[in-house]
Amino acid sequence: MSLAVLASRALFGLQARPVQVEIHVGNGLPAFAVVGLPGAGVRESRDRVRSAILNCGFDFPAGRITVNLAPADLPKDSGRFDLPIALGVLLASGQVADQQGHSPDLRHYVLAGELSLTGTLVPTESALAIALAVMRDDPAAIVIMASPAAQVAALVPGLRVLAAGSLDEVVRHFRDEQPLQAASPAAWRIAEEPSLCLADVRGQALARRALEVAAAGGHSLLMSGPPGVGKSMLAQRLPSLLPPLTHLQALEVAAVHGLLQPQHSWSLAPPFRAPHHGASRSALVGGGVHPRPGEISLAHHGILFLDELPEFDRRALESLREPLETGAVTIARAAGSCRFPAHFQLIAAMNSCPCGWLGHPRRQCLCPQDRVARYRARVSGPLMDRIDLHVSLVVESAWHEAPTGEPSASVRERVLAARQRQLARQGGLNADLDVAGLAQHARLDADGETLLARTVEMWGWSARATQRVLRVARTLGDLQASEALDVALLAQAIQFRPDSGAAVKMGF
């Protein structure tokens, strides 16, 4: 045959879009053209493919070779198209056929792999992202990759992945001479027990309670207070309260990290990201000429800790508003837009004023009032409105004499029990409840409705703030194994919400 059609994938962000690789070998002066918006890495595949075919003992056709990567308006980059192009050249020139002389059926195969000049397959970057996309689009497909990458792709349940070491092995597979072996999944690294324990924190009962509520319902949390009062210490111990990731969640996390770290280890531990406050907007939300994930995507299904919150660039902080609501970030470029997952739990910390000593019982704050106002205004009202829990940490003079706090293990038991109630009731965490879910699962009694109405009218809360209070109240009820939400639970939830009356106490 003079025409061959194979399937591969083009990676744009985390999206592995289907690409049809069409190869035609015709008469004419020897030429090798690649069309279909190829990048530099794809254009260079012509030389790699030619050398790989010759060094594997096959004949390189002397006619005019045209390779079309469809769809033509989708940018293609990297060397992962080497394998389908080389195999297509051999198919189109009649060098790959079974023992009966029939051409193999490649309709259900997806090929991805870079070739060395010797014909050896080089591991494909982002193998897990490609495998997850194939599983969603065509679960019956068979993926062929280089051996190390195939072991990574084989982590995806229900997907058949074949491991190949060279172009010659792939050809022998389709000639029915020596079938490729199914790849064995890479080994998971068991989530280790966190070394930081909540028992290290002495005092700060309200902050410890807020941390437990945040862990139980997946809520965002902002801690404010003087320097050294324990804000960062508490945030760093939140992972010790969280359950391990599910298999699918861990695969999604590994796929995102695999875009930046090809040797990322597979772990069931939720990610914990703590970028420096000098991080740019692109570093925080993602970007670049070829879009790459930012810190919010690297914290997917985990925790994003922003210490010294007002010191971050305001534009970077404002870019968090949509991902906090939608759980994803879309980066638009002239060539198209790509979407990265960003379902993270925001934990933030800040001082009460620029010098930090506002509200300290023994240190005097020397900041002028207008400077304090400018400092607080660095975090906008819309962003503050999207944070579920607000708690102020106070300086405790006898903190070193306080007894050791409750360890993380016992707190985690309550957190796990509360999460199990949420999953059984609504299939997700309380922080993700929408309006319909709140109406169904967070109904207040008559006294609670009266208290909520009076509080909303008094402090002028937005609809978003009101809904977040109800989500927190629902989590408090789950921690107490209570399906009904009474006025006491609502009152506790209201205490974690900043308002004009509590602004002085909480340092806002």
Contact 2, 23 (CB under 8 A): no
Q: Is 27 left (phi over 0), alpha (psi -120 to 50) or beta?
A: beta
> Helix axis angle, 127-137 relative to 247-258, nearest 10°?
130
Rounded to 10 degrees, what is the CA torsion of 310, 311, 317, 318?
70
Q: Are 281 and 316 in contact (CB under 8 A)?
A: yes
Residues 6+ apart with CB under 8 A from 408: 194, 196, 197, 198, 199, 237, 240, 241
Q: Which residues of the chain have pLDDT under 70?
A: 1, 99-100, 188-194, 262-265, 335, 397-402, 499-508
pLDDT of residue 337: 80
Q: Is 34 helix (H, G, I), strand (E, B) or coil?
A: strand
Distance of CA 431 to the CA centre of its chain: 17
Helix then strand count (H, E) for the chain reads 21, 19
Coil, strand or helix at 251: helix
Handedness of CA 319, 325, 331, 332 (dihedral sign): negative
Interacting residues of 340 by C-beta distance below 8 A, sequence separation 6+? 13, 14, 256, 286, 291, 293, 294, 297, 328, 329, 330, 331
Q: What is the pLDDT of residue 188?
A: 67
Alpha carbon dihedral 476, 480, 484, 486, in 10-degree steps, equals -60
**Amino acid of residue 492:** Q
> How would DSSP label each residue in 67-108?
EEEESTTS-B-SSTTHHHHHHHHHHHTT----TTSPPP--TT
Q: DSSP string spanning 281-307?
A: HHHHHEETTTTEE-HHHHTTTSEEEES
Residue 185, φ and ψ in degrees, nearest 5: -60, 145
Q: Give the pLDDT confidence score for residue 97 in this predicted structure.
A: 83
Cβ atoms of residues 98 and 176 within 8 Å:
yes
- Say if CB 497 and CB 466 are below 8 A apart: no
> Which pair of tokens denotes residue 454?
């009076």
Q: What was the pLDDT predicted at 173?
A: 94
